[in-house]
Amino acid sequence: MTFFLAFFVLVFFLVVLFSINSSRKIEERNSYNYSVVPLMTPAEIDFYNILVKIISDDFLLFSKTGLWAVIRNNEHDRKSWNKISQKHLDFIIVFMMLRT
């Protein structure tokens, strides 16, 4: 009888210990140190607004576009991809063509 009681106390202690340890890991995973940052600086916003006023309705204006979205890597090797994958264009103006 004492053996069963000691066994259940040990199992209970291990379950509680495992539960506390796993809840700490969940809290650590959910406590990221990220914050929201603006997509453009105030100077870029001013320039964007000027460009919007200048360009006609035949053009589209995009900001912070990845260079990889505009040009293709025809060599399909990692070295060429790394040269363009982390770069971006502040603004691109695209001529909007109507396709039928």
CA 22 to chain CA centroid, Å, is 27
Report pLDDT digits (tens) over 64-83. 988 888 888 777 778 888 88
pLDDT of residue 97: 77
pTM confidence score:
0.55
The amino acid present at 79, given as its one-letter code, is K
Q: Tens digits of per-residue pLDDT, 31-44?
A: 678 888 888 899 99
CA geometry: angle at 26 spanning 9 and 31, to 5°? Answer: 140
Q: What does the pLDDT read at residue 46?
A: 94
Q: Is the pLDDT at 5 greater than 70, yes or no?
A: no
- Decide: 64 and 45 in contact? Cβ < 8 Å: no
